[in-house]
C-alpha cells in the first residue's frame, strides 16, 4: 500500500497518479451527469472546457484520457486545441473499438483494419505522430483476440503507438492479450461501490501494469453524511471525493484514477487528493 505520487506507465513514462478523464467534456453542462450521459456533441461551453484542461496541467495533471467514441472524435480535438503543442511529460491516452451510430448506442467493433483506421484518425485529431497510450475500448467477441491486439501491436511497431492498453477486461482476457503484445494499462470500472475487479488489480500489480479506474468516485450511501468515508474525510480535513480518490491510491501503487469534471473547484479537489495519506485502519474502515 502506498500513496506515492508517480507511476512509471509502461515502465518508461512517469505519470502522476491522479489523471483526468475528458469524456464528460461534451454536450451542455446539464447533460453530463450519470452513466447514461450522451457524450454526443462538442461542449457548448468550449472556452471554459479549454481553460479547465489547461488548468489541469497547471495543477500537475499529466495523463489525459479520451476516446474516438467520445462526441464522435470532437473530444480528442478539444484536447488538442487546449493542450497542443503538448508540454514535456503530458501524456494522451485514447481508445478505439466502439462505434456510435446514435447518442444512446455504444457498440463494440474490433475489426483489425477498423482499429488501425481509427488510430490514424486519432493521430490527426490529436495533432501528434505517436499516441502515448492506445487502448482497445472493448474486446469484440466477433473477431479473434489475436487479430485485435495484433492490430495495436502493428501500430506500435510502426511507431504510431507507444503503449497498448485494454478496457473492461478480466484476468483471463488480460493474460491472453499479454501473450500477444506487452500491455501497459487496464481501464476498468472500479470504485468504493463497484469492486468487481479486485483480481484484475492484484494481477496488474504483479505485472507492473497500470490500473486506471474509471468512474472512480462513488456516490450515494458511500459518501453520505455519517458514512465511514465521510467520517474519515472529516478526520483528514478533506472532502469525501478527495478521500475516495485517496482510498483508491492506497489500494495499490499502480492505481491511477482518472476522475472527470467540468468544475474548476472539483478539478482542484481531485488533484489535491495526491496529498492525502490514509492509515491502514482508515483504509479498512472505508472499505467496510
Question: Which residues belong to the active site?
Answer: 70
Q: Beta-carbon neighbour count of residue 4 at 10 Å? A: 9
* Cα distance between residue 225 and residue 96, in whole Å: 39
> What is the C-alpha separation between 222 and 63, in angstroms, rounded?
27
- Backbone φ and ψ for 106, nearest 5 degrees, come out as -130, 105
**Is the separation of the CB atoms in 277 and 1 below 8 Å?**
no
Other beta carbons within 10 angstroms of residue 102's beta carbon come to 9
Q: CA 277 to CA 106: how far, in whole Å?
A: 37
Neighbours of 179 (CB within 10 A): 10
Q: How far is CA 271 from CA 47, 85, 258, 275, in A?
A: 21, 22, 10, 8
Query: 259 with 245: CB under 8 angstroms?
Result: yes
Amino acid at each position: 500500500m502506498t500513496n506515492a505520487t508517480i507511476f512509471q506507465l509502461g515502465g518508461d513514462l512517469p505519470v502522476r497518479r491522479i489523471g483526468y478523464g475528458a469524456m464528460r467534456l461534451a454536450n451542455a453542462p446539464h447533460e453530463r451527469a450519470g452513466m447514461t450521459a450522451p457524450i454526443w456533441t462538442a461542449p457548448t461551453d468550449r472556452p471554459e472546457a479549454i481553460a479547465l484542461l489547461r488548468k489541469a496541467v497547471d495543477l500537475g495533471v499529466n495523463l489525459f484520457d479520451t476516446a474516438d467514441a467520445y462526441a464522435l472524435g470532437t473530444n480528442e480535438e478539444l484536447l488538442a486545441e487546449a493542450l497542443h503543442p503538448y508540454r514535456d511529460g503530458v501524456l494522451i491516452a485514447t481508445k478505439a473499438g466502439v462505434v456510435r451510430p446514435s447518442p444512446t448506442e455504444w457498440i463494440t467493433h474490433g475489426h483489425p483494419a477498423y482499429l488501425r483506421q481509427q488510430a490514424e484518425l486519432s493521430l490527426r485529431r490529436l495533432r501528434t505522430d505517436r499516441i502515448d497510450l492506445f487502448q482497445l475500448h472493448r474486446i469484440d467477441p466477433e473477431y479473434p483476440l489475436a487479430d485485435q491486439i495484433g492490430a495495436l501491436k502493428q501500430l506500435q511497431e510502426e511507431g504510431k503507438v507507444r503503449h497498448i492498453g485494454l478496457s473492461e477486461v478480466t484476468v483471463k482476457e488480460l493474460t491472453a492479450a499479454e501473450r500477444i503484445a506487452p500491455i501497459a494499462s487496464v481501464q476498468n470500472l472500479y470504485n468504493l461501490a463497484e469492486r468487481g475487479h479486485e483480481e484484475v488489480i492484484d494481477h496488474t500489480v504483479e505485472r507492473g501494469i497500470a490500473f486506471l479506474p474509471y468512474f472512480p468516485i462513488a456516490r450515494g450511501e458511500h459518501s453520505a453524511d455519517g458514512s465511514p468515508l465521510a467520517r474519515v474525510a472529516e478526520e483528514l480535513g478533506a472532502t469525501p471525493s478527495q478521500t475516495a480518490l485517496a482510498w483508491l491510491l492506497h489500494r495499490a501503487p499502480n492505481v491511477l484514477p482518472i476522475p472527470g469534471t467540468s468544475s474548476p473547484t472539483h478539478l482542484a479537489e481531485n488533484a489535491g487528493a495526491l496529498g492525502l495519506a490514509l492509515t491502514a485502519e482508515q483504509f479498512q474502515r472505508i472499505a467496510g
